[in-house]
Amino acid sequence: MARASPVVAVLGPTNTGKTHLAIERMCGHSSGMIGFPLRLLAREVYDRVVRIKGERSVALITGEEKIVPADARYFLCTAESMPLDKDFAFVGLDEAQLGADPERGHVFTDRLLRARGREETMVLGSASLAPMLKALAPGSEIVSRPRFSTLSFAGQTKLSRLPPRSAIVAFSAEEVYAVAEMLRRMRGGAAVVMGALSPRTRNAQVQMFQNGEVDYLVATDAIGMGLNMDVAHVAFASLRKFDGRRQRRLTVAEMAQIAGRAGRHQRDGTFGTLSFEGTRGAAFEEEEVLAIEEHRFPNLDHLYWREGAPSLASVDALIADLERRPSLPGLRAAPQATDLAVLKRIADEDWVRDRAKGARMVGRLWAACGLPDFRRTGPEAHSRLVARVWRHLSEGAGHLPPQWFAEELARLDQVTGDVETVADRIAGVRTWAYIAHRPDWLADPAKWAERTRVLEEKLSDALHQRLTQRFVDRRTSVLMRDLGARGVDALPVAVAEDGTVTVADEPIGRLEGFRFHVDPDARLQDKKRLLAAAERRLGGELGERARTLAADADDAFTLDTAPGLPVAILWRGHLVARLGHGKGLTRPRLVLHRALDALDPASRRQVEARLDGWIAARVEAALAPLSRLCAAARDPALPPRLRALIAPLADAGGVVERRKVEPALAALDREDRRIAVRFGLRIGALDLFVPALLKPEAVRWRAALLAADEDGRMPELPPPAAVAVPTPAERGACEALARLGWRPFGAQMLRIDMVEKLARAAHDAREGKAAFLPDAALATSLGLLPASFAQAMMALGFRPAGDTGWSWRGARTDRPAAPAAPRPGNAFGALAALTAKG
């Protein structure tokens, strides 16, 4: 590019507005280009210029991303991607002091020497660059800009006392993750920023910090390169880094570049070091602190250089030019970069040299060697990938096979795995995105560029999610911030339609009915405080729910008779009360769930009245005969001898063994018995009962009331069939079934109305005391086993007679009947004996 304009160098420390000035100057020209050290920074400025000039006028060019509208006039690029063959009215280079960086310095030096704008050229960087600019670009105008705010040293700080809005800087992914993990446990978490992150992931992480969702940011030294964030304090977790060759202490200029991120515009900032439990931590030297505070750094005495436009006459000429030493004073030959190392490795292959004939093919080979090693696999492994790319570029149509490209993308198209796994996949996608953005490496580059963009965004979203899951407890972070700012009682609590309770828009649990369930993922140390705060603020919502319950229809309530649990009342499926011992069997006591303790007295009375009314109505509907028995037991108009029979029957829930009330039954006269029948009472051979109370729903309610009357738990309900078969271990179940109207006969239990049916059939079949044969079909229809049938017959007063017959001997009602000794050859008797022995 022709030297069409003198160079204006705007130099100074961080937070001097240099980049902002360059953007303003560029936008004042008809066209322009700025080169940046990071893809992230190029993207950030691209977004700003788009807001000023519109999408159609602005282009973004990085290794892995290219947005170039047909009418683009303003180009934002990484330094490596600056199109030096284009003519621009304005050209700018940011962070030009990176020319002294051993790894990438030769790129910045080349742009410093060759990139010129037609009307204006602007170089931005540190004041330490001034002497080199004067030597390499004579006549340059140097403009010094002071820092807008003060940067002061704050000393060493423990992680637990780190001030909000702090950025912690570490120099490896392992260090970044370790610090972020500690911040999650202690302070709710942190955003994470590293140079390897895609712009989408980095922006999402930074946005959490900018929005105040987290108060801390953990980053590598990537934040030193002009990324603008509202950081008040920068804490160094370490002052040493691995520069690709060795572990070394940061230079003062590097320290200042990073520390300078603290403070923004006219807000002052601080910097210091971080100490960890049991360690002394990093420490600044006194002279380093003074130099950083006063922005005094040693001037650069050299920049790294490599030929920016090497000869393409042959592979050997290319290598020779790239290894040529600089002739200008102050320049040093750049250490061998990855692209040159790869070129020299694959150039040893005869087939590579055979195909690299002529300037076009040598240039194509050099472009292939420029494929960045995003996955940092090293020159040896990376050269194998480059060789395969070159093989395809140098044969046939010179395009990479779409099948290979598609397979490599498919291999990376997975969002599972941890942070490191997803980050590595993104690095892999960047490789293929770089290839897709070369104009002549693929037959349909636009299609594949879009495919890689979509995949990178997909993986970037997954990585942001993983980073957030791993390093941010969003709930604790937001709540702790609001607790500190507004206090517990000022927390904004909201309840969604589905019952989700949020505090400051962060879900902390669910309100189910009147019960608040804290989110199981909530941190243990915060759970009690947040739960108490939420419950205090939920009073209004609970009161509204109480009013809704009081006005609700009957079908909103159900009786919960789950076996093994206390009998409960559910409102819309949510537990609101339990039943306990009350004034009578049909008048149980209502015990509201403790969650309703938060209601005011008037609301509690409303709820109690509604539930009491529902219970009374349901008992009357399901157990009307039992209610009448209970009332009759207290009715003074009835004869005492009749009440003496009805009272124990009512207390037992409508079923009682005849032998237990035989004295009261014997005292009744004919009229008393007639009155008893009017109450639905049946006086059977073995039991007194009300048949209507043996229906399934009546049995369920009787079981519930009996359990509540004893403050006990709901038993297993009997099956709808007449016969139940409890297991030997279910002795308690047998007793419960007996109370509900089932009689045990051997291994089976028979409902008492069916026992009476069996008794009637037997008496109808017999003639006096003569032996008779029972109706086998009846036993089969009842589902009785032979042994159970034999025991039932003996309990009813019959005895085995002959081989298969039975005779009436009369039943004793003062005690359970004992089976007589079976006669030889009597099958039913033998079965009964076997059952008795078992």
Domain edges within the chain: 7-144, 152-294, 337-471, 474-537, 568-576+596-717, 745-837
Q: Identify the helix (H) or strand (E) that includes residue 531.
A: helix 524-537
pLDDT-derived band at 727, boundaries 50, 70, 90? low
483: pLDDT strictly greater than 70: no
DSSP string for 795-829: HTTEEEETTTEEEE----SSSPPPPPPPPTT-HHH
pLDDT value at residue 722:
82
Fold for domain 152-294?
A: Rossmann fold (3.40.50)
Q: How many CA atoms lie within 13 A of 656 on its CB side?
A: 22
- Contact in structure between 723 and 780 (CB atoms under 8 Å): no
Block residue for tokens 């309770």: 501
Packing angle of the helix pair 539-551, 524-537 (nearest 10 deg):
60
Which of the 8 DSSP states describes residue 682? E
pLDDT value at residue 198:
82
Strands 303-305, 269-275: parallel, antiparallel or unpaired by DSSP? unpaired
Which of the 8 DSSP states describes residue 468? H
Burial 584-606, CB ≥16 within 10 A → b, else e: bbbebebbbbebbebbeeebeeb
258: pLDDT strictly greater than 80: yes
pTM: predicted TM-score of the whole model, two decimal places: 0.60
Q: What is the mean pLDDT of residues 327-339?
A: 93
Block residue for tokens 């520390």: 259
- 532 vs 393, residue with greater confidence: 393
CA angle (66 as vertex; 343, 394 as ends), nearest 5? 35
Which tokens go with 388?
């395969």
pLDDT-derived band at 732, boundaries 50, 70, 90? low
What is the C-alpha separation between 206 and 191, in angstroms, rounded?
Answer: 7
pLDDT-derived band at 542, boundaries 50, 70, 90? confident
Identify the CA nearest to 437 among candidates 429, 446, 428.
Answer: 446
pLDDT value at residue 495:
81
Q: How many helices (H) and strands (E) does the chain have?
A: 30, 34
Q: pLDDT exceeding 90 applies to what percent of the chain?
A: 52
pLDDT value at residue 200:
86
Give me the chain's average pLDDT, please.
Answer: 86
Distances from the Cα of 659 to the Cα of 153, 272, 645, 686, angstroms: 96, 92, 12, 7
Which burial class, exposed, middle or buried, applies to 309 when counting CB atoms under 10 A from its CB (0-12, 13-18, 19+)? exposed
pLDDT-derived band at 264, boundaries 50, 70, 90? confident
Phi then psi for residue 801, to 5 deg, are -140, 120
Q: What digits encode the pLDDT tens for the residues 409-461?
A: 999 999 999 888 999 999 999 999 999 999 899 999 999 999 999 999 999 99
1: pLDDT strictly greater than 90: no
822: pLDDT strictly greater than 70: no
Residue 93 DSSP SS3: strand
CATH number listed for the domain at residues 7-144: 3.40.50.300
